[in-house]
Amino acid sequence: SAAERAEIAGAVQRTIAENMPVSISHEARASAIASGAMALFGEKYGEIVRTVRIGSAAAPVSLELCGGTHVKNTGQLGAFVILSEGAIAAGVRRIEAIAGPAAIDYLQRQAALVEQIAGQLQVPAAGAAQKVGELLASHSLMQRERDELKRSALFTQLETARARTQTIAGVAFLAERLQVDDLHYLRDAGEWFRAAHPSGVAVFGSVVDGAPGLVVAVTQDLVDRGLNAGKMINTVAAVVGGRGGGKPTLAQAGGKDATQLDAALASAASLVRDFLAG
């Protein structure tokens, strides 16, 4: 987590500030490991290993088998910045960081970026994060308000369409083309129909970004009798060159030929009529 990364970075930076000595020795691998030296999993070591100790011999901060180049004391590192971390094995995570001049350069570039963002937001650098949070909250609110307006427009269309609901063998049926900008509103329309009718079938369609989409909604009593929205949607969607799927009560499909959407909607009535006649 971010808190854990901050805790690790703070611990390392404190070790750097304490200017602890870094000592290097070469000894038998078994002896080094017995003394507490950490060996990295998957690494291959010879019989004689290079051991790096940070801190005092009696209570080192770190004791590892390592073949890399190291400073004489931790103070030479100057700055330390964690860039990333990720899992490399079950229960094992790797931290990637930079130190010294590279870390200072990174911090300077980050500070310049914060100043640039703060300038665009017209706030002091210290207030940039709060301002961004306020803007995000405002954006989220506007999105919710916009969605509510779109849903209101959808339900206005549905209330108008209610008058065009047919009855086929005692079952309510509605096939309607809706004006929406996202196909998930068709699913909302399907749920609206199922809630409004104890027994019925509805097919809703729309064209979004030039592509046709369809939803079939079936009430539970008809599902119990064998009518499946997931199967019916494929028959209807074939008219627009598409396929789909979903639950027995609600299914969705996309297509390729938007010019055939009205024909697809018109085909649904005969499917329902044939089912009920059977």
Same domain, 264 and 162: yes
**Rounded distance between C-alpha atoms, residue 109 and residue 115, angstroms:** 10
User: Which of 97, 119, 141 is the C-terminal boundary of a domain?
Assistant: 119
Q: How far is CA 187 from CA 180, 202, 251, in A?
A: 11, 11, 8
Same domain, 177 and 263: yes
Same domain, 199 and 240: yes
Non-local (6+) Cβ contacts of 236 within 8 A are 203, 214, 216, 253, 264, 265, 267, 268, 271
Same domain, 267 and 158: yes
Contact 62, 48 (CB under 8 A): no
Same domain, 82 and 198: no
The residues facing 211 across adjacent strands are 208
Of 75, 66, 101, nearest in space to 21 by CA? 75
Q: Does residue 138 lie within any of the structural domains?
A: no
Q: What is the CATH number of the domain that holds 219?
A: 3.10.310.40
Contact 252, 215 (CB under 8 A): yes
Q: Does residue 130 lie within any of the structural domains?
A: no
Same domain, 112 and 195: no
Written as six digits, the tokens of 189 are 């329309």
Report the pLDDT value the prediction gives residue 261, as an integer from 0 to 100. Answer: 97
The residues facing 167 across adjacent strands are 172
Same domain, 269 and 158: yes
Contact 243, 256 (CB under 8 A): no
Range of the domain at 272: 152-277
Quickly count: other Cβ atoms within 10 Å of residue 20's Cβ: 18
Q: What are phi and psi of 9, to 5 degrees?
A: -60, -40
**SS3 category, 92:** strand
Q: Where are the alpha helices (DSSP H) in 163-247?
A: 184-196, 220-224, 229-237
In total, how many domains does the chain have? 2
User: Which of 119, 142, 167 is the C-terminal boundary of a domain?
Assistant: 119
Same domain, 92 and 24: yes
Non-local (6+) Cβ contacts of 120 within 8 A are none
Q: What is the CATH number of the domain that holds 113?
A: 3.30.980.10
Same domain, 161 and 227: yes
Of 13, 21, 20, 67, nearest in space to 40 by CA? 67
Side chain identity at residue 23, one-letter code: S
* pLDDT one digit per residue (tens) for the chain, 278 residues: 888 889 999 998 998 998 988 888 888 888 888 777 877 655 677 788 888 888 887 788 888 888 676 788 889 889 999 999 888 778 778 889 999 999 999 999 999 999 999 999 999 999 999 999 999 999 999 999 999 999 999 999 999 999 999 999 999 999 999 999 999 999 999 999 999 999 999 999 999 999 999 999 999 999 999 999 999 999 999 999 999 999 999 999 999 999 999 999 999 999 999 999 87
Extended beta strands in the chain, E state = 22-28, 48-55, 60-65, 80-89, 92-99, 166-168, 171-177, 200-208, 211-218, 243-246, 250-254
| Eight-state DSSP code of residue 176 | E
Q: Does residue 133 lie within any of the structural domains?
A: no
Report the pLDDT value the prediction gives residue 67, as an integer from 0 to 100. Answer: 65
* CA 106 to the chain's CA centroid: 28
Q: Does residue 141 lie within any of the structural domains?
A: no
Q: How far is CA 151 from CA 120, 158, 196, in A?
A: 35, 10, 16
